[in-house]
A and B are shown apart, each in its own frame.
Chain A
Amino acid sequence: MTSNHPKNSAEGYAERVLQGDRRALTRLISWAENGDGRFPGALAALYPSLGRAWRVGITGPPGAGKSTLVNELALAMRREDLEVGILAVDPSSPFTGGALLGDRIRMEELTGDQHVYIRSMASRKSHGGMARAGVDACDVMDAFGMERILIETVGVGQAEYDVMGACDTVVVVMCPGAGDGVQAMKAGILEVADVLVVNKSDLAGAERLADDLSEAVHTRAIRSDEWSGEVGSSWTVPVVLASAGKAQGVDEVLKAITSHRAMLDSRGPNGLEDARRKKRVAQVRRVIDEELDARVWNTDELGARVENALAAGSTAYGIASEVVDDLLRGAAFGMRSKES
């Protein structure tokens, strides 16, 4: 196929991604991560091709076995001859900005497979268990032709929900020995789960944890799902015992993911589309927040005004209110445009 676009332009790269060029795939994800000015143009060219991939998030506390489960799920998907993309997020140091990304160690069997693409990503400044460019990376993989995308989050605690906005199905992985049933009843990470996995099922306490979790999800009368807008969802979260390190229970996890997908599909032709559109709206809102933040503070004048107001005895709330009112009236505070 001949191209009308220069090879190194945004459109040229997008075209190469659509043609299955892995070098272009990997470079576009870097552009997304680095905030490269060419990325939005490339993404625009890919947008019409999105929507084919099923996006599955794998989240849970550190050491629960997320990477090992991702590896086993990917191998199982490969046995079904599916194209698989993996995004593995690890934390960045808030002090140095550096990161050690080690999830590939547990995915060695997949490295030589040309139908699998694995990308490690540092969380950089995000604190919700994902990376800012996570959704972008999934979009590029989707356009490239991946049929399944597995997103492994940072090891999370009780309040990291960003994975919900990036995935069609969220799998929460727990393991025995990390707290009693009351931990499982707290608000938080369990509420993002579409599927619960008790990993390391050969360890003492696994059955008990699975029982506690089953109780917790069954007695939750209303599942208020901010992203899909569903209240009182008909989906009962399955609790699956697995031992990913021994390749046990993986097919059952996959079955639970497939059932969740079937449930979304059964909501009618627009069920899945509605859920995805609402997530996309939430992403747009986040991007607007980021761009506002970047543009509003892209000036020294505003900082000086804040300092002066503080010196004059104003409170944080008073200053913020005045500044936002002025911004909405069109005050520029010497701000420069985004590109400068």
Chain B
Amino acid sequence: MKYLGILILAIGVGLCAAFGARLSDGMYEQTRLGGQIALLEAQTDKAWADYCAAREAAKLEQGECAPPEEADDPPADTPLEAAEDGAEAAVEDEAAQTPTYDEALAAEKAALAGVAPNAEGLSGPPAQARGRWLEARTALVEPRAQKASTPLPGPETRLAGWFELSGMPFLGGLALIVIGAVLGRRAAKAELSGDSKSGDDTRVDFGVAVADLAQKLRALADRAAALDAPTPAQRKEVQAEIEALQLTRFGPIVEARYQLQNRIGLAGFAHVFGPLSGAERWLNRSWSTLADEHWPETRTSLARSAEQMAEAAAALAEELKQAG
């Protein structure tokens, strides 16, 4: 049941995410125009770079290709970039009220007219290269006008448009997620309560493990309390014992915590794990203080750890009694 649940869940997430990813018609159109412009702009930039290379090969002055002047202020645009920026600004100003296609087209054509003339009377490869650039630049006019005159769909329109297109398969996927998750929950519950045939050998008897740990911590704390000035060997022994408790006692209890959660519920689990984690933290502290060679604080920390572990053991007994 567990694997069936995971499989159904995965199919559900796949369906939901795929149909959720689908763009509404309005956004598809915006994306299409944006993509067309981006790729055409890349072609235009490449054509411009080729043109500049052709000028260089023909040993012409940089002319239109001159880089912006070096200055302390923000870099200035080339004459060509300035003309382009001006045109874009004009289109953006109009876009504030979303221009009609004709208005946007007129603005784009005006911008193109500003950069189109071959004012230097170029000839040969540079002129041909400039012609190719102009052709690429001209191809941008219509898509840009179309994009400027197509308003971006608002959030609600996007939501409604998407739901109309993908809502049903998305909801189907969502239902599969819930079915898969419920099956997964049942399987997990069966596994944790021992009804599963999975042969789980990591089961922990919490009543025994927690009581045993509480006892061991109390014994360690009492032994530490009896030592006023431990020798380095005694300190090392205590450190080894702390490390063993951290790894072999706390580790398995923490690892198997979902079994406990399943048995006594989330609130009961919190009731036990609050003091248990406190005991673990105080034990960690005793390790740190031992490493810092501060024996009085080590003794205090071990005592606090034992105290909190006793609290955890009492809480567990109470919760287990309630759970029957």
Instruction: Judge: A and B partners, yes or no.
Output: no
Residues of A within 8 A of B (CB): none
